[in-house]
Structure 1
Amino acid sequence: MENKMNKPCTGKLKVSRVSVVQEKLGDIVINLIKIGIVIGLIAFLSLAFHTAFFKPSWRLFGLPEHLRVQNYSRIDNGPTNISHILFGIGGSSQTWDYRSEYSKIWWDPNTTRGFVWLDKKPNILDTELLVPYKISHGWKQFKYLYSSSAVRIARIVYESFKLGLPDVRWFVMGDDDTVFFTKNLVTVLSKYDHNQMYYIGGNSESVEQDVIHSYDMAFGGGGIAISYALAVQLARTMDGCLRRYFYLYGSDQRIWACVNEIGVRLTHEKGFHQLDIRGDPYGLLAAHPMAPLVSLHHIDQLSSLFTNQSETQFLTNLTSAYNLDPARIVQQSICYDHRRKWSISISWGYTVQIYTTMLPASDLQVPLQTFTTWRTLSNGPFTFNTRWIDPDPCQQPAMFFLDSLRMVDSKGSITSYKRFYADGADKCNKSHLNVQVQRITISALKLDPEYWKNVPRRECCQIMDGGSIKGGNMHLRVKKCRLRETTAI
């Protein structure tokens, strides 16, 4: 009994030690919780203070502010101008070395915003570059069936949007061999609300191309305009979409597929020209659709639009006329010399045609087929009607090309068109070829860009000086049609 009383109570000592340890651990946990609460409170107050007084740098969070905003605020609705457009030009380090020359024709470093997106640094010196460049990133992670560059270029809208530049209303894509007529582009885009989702452009001229790709697709060479509202949605879904459509052929086809997932259809504007044609585009621009000229693509794949001139010389001449009267460039006017039974078609700033027969306006507005289809070099079909042109120069209309121009009192212009003789024309009947007309002078008031915001009407043409031909020169005037005036034979 005594032995039992004197035996150490080891069980009770073990329990006491465990209790002490638990109590200490509990204190530690409580202290850690308190410290965590304090740290969290400090972080919360710091973030709230920073958000209230400073613009957040979303780079810390891996995404730009645009991609985090679910319901972005509407952008100011004042008049759209060139500063509201951000261009994203698809190029490569190989092609940009020589195609950068095209940018010198239309890019204004003082007003135009944007970048050419390349796969790597170009070989030409930075001092020779007019358009700033950026190197595409992240595109090599995507699977593709045909071309990795198509994936890279399709992401231009996403990468441009991710830059977060201020006051951008429209993201406009084009190729490095696309020439834009920016004043007319502004005129076209200003018709639409950039706070709504718009996908604007034109399709291919060759039906075979539209059948392969889509009639509802904006072809990238002619230019694609994406409103800010649509760019918000595209930026959120683009990369996942590119993974789903890895099997598509081109960059524009990928963009079209992604836009269709959002549920937006193409808004077709006839001034965007893919120029998916081969040969001489003369017929198309001599009877341009009634729409402002916005872009030209594939210029280096076609015959020169001005005879005996390089592509760059042609574009320089055309741009000179465009700068004189942007809204009027290549707009068609039609008039008749009833005494001589001549039909006259004007494509202002480019060419004039004289036919020695009386042709109705419904025929003259149809382009002469001076070209073939893009893929198979066939005689059609195209997405517009064409007229057959006789290969015999003696049966073709007399053609005149822009030779000089000048502004008159800042409100008007005088342009002069010089006679062109095709090979073999020296053997033609002289009376048939109207050889007495060597030059045509055209006077016109400057066309208001607001003209295109209403339902357009083709302007009329008037033969001046009673139709007299003095020193081989004929004087015409392009003017607004009177209320009851028509173009009739």
Structure 2
Amino acid sequence: MSSKGDQTINDPMKIEAFPTIKFKATDLFSLSIKLTLAICTIAFISLITFLACSNQSLLVPQNNQTVENVNNRRLTGEASEKTTISHILFGIAGSAKTWDGRRHYCKLWWKPNITRGYVWLDVEPSGNKTWPATLPAYRVNEDTSKFKYSCWYGSRSAVRLTRIVKESFELGLDNVRWFVMGDDDTVFFTENLVTVLGKYDHNQMYYIGDNSESVEQDLIHSYSVAYGGGGYAISYALAAELVRILDGCIDRYEELYGADQKIQACLTEIGVPLTKELGFHQLDVQGNPYGLLAAHPLAPLVSLHHLDTIQTLFPALNQHDSLEKLISAYKMDPGRTVQHSFCYDLVRNWSISVSWGYAVELYPSLLTAKKLETASLTFQTWKTRSSEPFTFNTRPVSSNPCEKPVVFFLDQVESLDRGTKTLTTYKRFVEDLESECDRVDYAPALAIQLVNVSAAHFDSRLWKKAPRRQCCEILNGTDGVERVVQLQIRGCNRFESVTPR
């Protein structure tokens, strides 16, 4: 007799197309356990992988680590968020020996709890001195004795200063978009620096600064270098690439003189060129910088360097007081500081040149716009004290007093209309009464004692547009006995030009 499982079903109504498979309760329980374990295993592996990747992306790079995909959160940011001073980390090159004599320069522009950065020293400062809260905190550079340096006329400190950008990057500070390098005798005009850097995307690899003014320096140290005293900026994206190769690069370019040269050489290996901004001033000149500032290029004033070696900016003041006077105008209207404008008095045949917040020149003759925009040669080259060449055009200063302008220097600055306008006053400077022009037609110009210049507050957004020098007009009459000239600087109208007869 067959078992139940072998019985044949003869009833055609009971035959099924597919046989029914039946499981015992114990089989179903075992299957569910295995399925649950499989799902948990997959979830656990996924979680471990996610955490490993996340932790890797949050690592702060150390000396010998690669920096691929480091801190991507810093490289993105909100596209709509404007660059501010808090996005800049300053690296100020100093030394324990020079700092005390130069820190007053830094004090002029540093804003505690607003500006961020450090002055980098070679050794710890004297222990019996309290570090002022009005200055940036200091850090001591790492030992660089293992690196090569073979420039016979240079100093090994160049190696230490080259690594400031790397050591700054490795601090891992949040919300840094730009690393800005400068010297302890560099004065930065930070609002204009923010304006300049705000034109560029910090997520891209940018190297921003300017050359030396003296061609002889550029021939020696390269036209492609952003000179360190004038300051230069490296975007976060570029710094992340630079720190990967910097230490090896320092040895490869052991023969180069300065830190700025070594940085540029390393950036050449990455393939990033210098983006020039004319407001960074190395001031590689000797003598009087007046001619350069009185005909400043059409760019925001960002920095001044070599202030210990040039003559004072204002002739009756020492250098520190000169800078304070210039900064007093800068605080009123940063974007307009030393911006160049000129206009004509076609009745009196006068040409007037204005460097806002600094100086005014009055020529009792009609000069072309080309001449007025060209810097007067009041200075010499950095190395040989020659009269040329420079990286910009210059014109000689005549020895004939009747061909020289009447010069007025900034005396005071006022804010008007709730900060929307300024009134700057420039007082006549007399260097030598005996050498003044004695021609009759020159006398009305010599009678002028003050020049008042009114202007609306400069809109920094104009720096993102096609550059154009602003226009100037004379407001008061043409009576030759007047002792004050009233000027107004404003945006130019369509089809307006400064064209003498």
Q: TM-score, normalised by structure 1?
A: 0.86
Instruction: Give distance in 2, aligned partners of 1:361 and 1:190.
Output: 31
In structure 1, what residue type is equivalent to 2:363? Y
In structure 2, what residue type is equivalent to 1:72? N
Other-structure match for 1:288: 296
Instruction: Give distance in 1, aligned partners of 2:283 and 2:398.
Output: 22
1:107 aligns with 2:110: yes
Instruction: Give distance in 2, aligned partners of 1:168 and 1:393.
Output: 53
After superposition, residues 465-476 of structure 1 pair within 5 angstroms as 465-468=476-479, 472-476=483-487
Instruction: Give distance in 1, aligned partners of 2:450 and 2:369.
Output: 23
Other-structure match for 2:125: 122
Offset at residue 436 of structure 1 (A): 1.4
4+ aligned runs moved over 4 Å, structure 1:
44-59, 61-66, 424-427, 468-471
Offset at residue 325 of structure 1 (A): 0.4
1:480 aligns with 2:480: no
Offset at residue 341 of structure 1 (A): 0.5
Other-structure match for 1:12: none
TM-aligned CA distance change 1:261 to 1:363, over 3 Å: same
Paired residue for 1:345, among 335, 347, 353?
Answer: 353
After superposition, residues 413-424 of structure 1 pair within 5 angstroms as 413-424=422-433
Instruction: Give distance in 2, aligned partners of 1:244 and 1:426.
Output: 57
Offset at residue 468 of structure 1 (A): 4.4
Q: What SS does the aligned partner of 1:122 have?
A: coil
Does structure 1 retain, via aligned residues, the 8 Å contact 2:186–2:306?
yes
Paired residue for 1:143, among 134, 142, 148?
Answer: 148
Paired residue for 2:242, among 234, 237, 247?
Answer: 234
Offset at residue 473 of structure 1 (A): 1.2
Q: What SS does the aligned partner of 1:233 have?
A: helix
After superposition, residues 294-373 of structure 1 pair within 5 angstroms as 294-373=302-381
Does structure 1 retain, via aligned residues, the 8 Å contact 2:359–2:408?
yes
Does structure 1 retain, via aligned residues, the 8 Å contact 2:416–2:422?
yes
Offset at residue 379 of structure 1 (A): 0.6
Q: Deviations over 1:76-131 (max 9, x none)?
A: 13211110000000010011111110011111113100001000122453136511
TM-aligned CA distance change 1:417 to 1:470, over 3 Å: farther
Instruction: Give distance in 2, aligned partners of 1:198 and 1:329.
Output: 26
After superposition, residues 64-213 of structure 1 pair within 5 angstroms as 67=67, 69=69, 72-73=72-73, 74-76=75-77, 77=79, 78-123=81-126, 124-127=129-132, 130-145=135-150, 146-213=154-221
Q: What SS does the aligned partner of 2:361 have?
A: strand
TM-aligned CA distance change 1:427 to 1:343, over 3 Å: closer
Q: Deviations over 1:181-237 (max 9, x none)?
A: 111101111111111100100001000000111111100011110001100011111
Instruction: Give distance in 1, aligned partners of 2:65 and 2:175.
Output: 14
Instruction: Give distance in 2, aligned partners of 1:128 and 1:310.
Output: 25
In structure 2, what residue type is equivalent to 1:333? S
Instruction: Give distance in 2, aligned partners of 1:440 and 1:66.
Output: 60
Other-structure match for 2:19: none
Q: Would you say how many aligned residue pairs link Structure 1 and Structure 2? A: 445
In structure 2, what residue type is equivalent to 1:164? G
The more displaced of 138-147 and 209-218 is 138-147
Q: What SS does the aligned partner of 2:375 have?
A: coil
1:406 aligns with 2:414: yes
Offset at residue 453 of structure 1 (A): 0.4
Q: Which structure has the highest helix share of the two?
A: 1
Q: What SS does the aligned partner of 1:327 have?
A: helix
1:454 aligns with 2:465: yes
Structure 2 unmatched ranges of 5 or more: 1-44
CA RMSD after TM alignment? 2.3
Offset at residue 396 of structure 1 (A): 1.4
Instruction: Give distance in 2, aligned partners of 1:141 and 1:192.
Output: 36
TM-aligned CA distance change 1:458 to 1:468, over 3 Å: farther
Instruction: Give distance in 1, aligned partners of 2:216 and 2:54.
Output: 58
Q: What SS does the aligned partner of 1:415 have?
A: strand
Instruction: Give distance in 2, aligned partners of 1:291 and 1:66.
Output: 38
Instruction: Give distance in 2, aligned partners of 1:103 and 1:300.
Output: 13
Offset at residue 289 of structure 1 (A): 0.4
Instruction: Give distance in 1, aligned partners of 2:55 and 2:273.
Output: 39
Instruction: Give distance in 1, aligned partners of 2:48 and 2:104.
Output: 49
Instruction: Give distance in 2, aligned partners of 1:427 and 1:291.
Output: 34
Q: What SS does the aligned partner of 2:376 have?
A: coil
Other-structure match for 2:7: none
Instruction: Give distance in 2, aligned partners of 1:175 and 1:189.
Output: 19
Structure 1 unmatched ranges of 5 or more: 1-43
The more displaced of 302-311 and 71-80 is 71-80
Offset at residue 439 of structure 1 (A): 0.4
Offset at residue 465 of structure 1 (A): 2.2
TM-aligned CA distance change 1:83 to 1:425, over 3 Å: farther
TM-aligned CA distance change 1:464 to 1:65, over 3 Å: farther
Other-structure match for 1:429: 438
TM-aligned CA distance change 1:274 to 1:53, over 3 Å: closer
Q: Deviations over 1:56-79 (max 9, x none)?
A: 9857x9559982536935321321
Does structure 2 retain, via aligned residues, the 8 Å contact 1:58–1:65?
no
In structure 2, what residue type is equivalent to 1:228? Y
TM-aligned CA distance change 1:392 to 1:309, over 3 Å: farther
Q: Deviations over 1:297-324 (max 9, x none)?
A: 1111101110121111111011110110
TM-aligned CA distance change 1:333 to 1:53, over 3 Å: closer
Q: TM-score, normalised by structure 2?
A: 0.84
Does structure 1 retain, via aligned residues, the 8 Å contact 2:112–2:134?
no
In structure 1, what residue type is equivalent to 2:252? R
1:253 aligns with 2:254: no
Question: Structure 1 vs Structure 2: percent identity of aligned residues?
Answer: 51
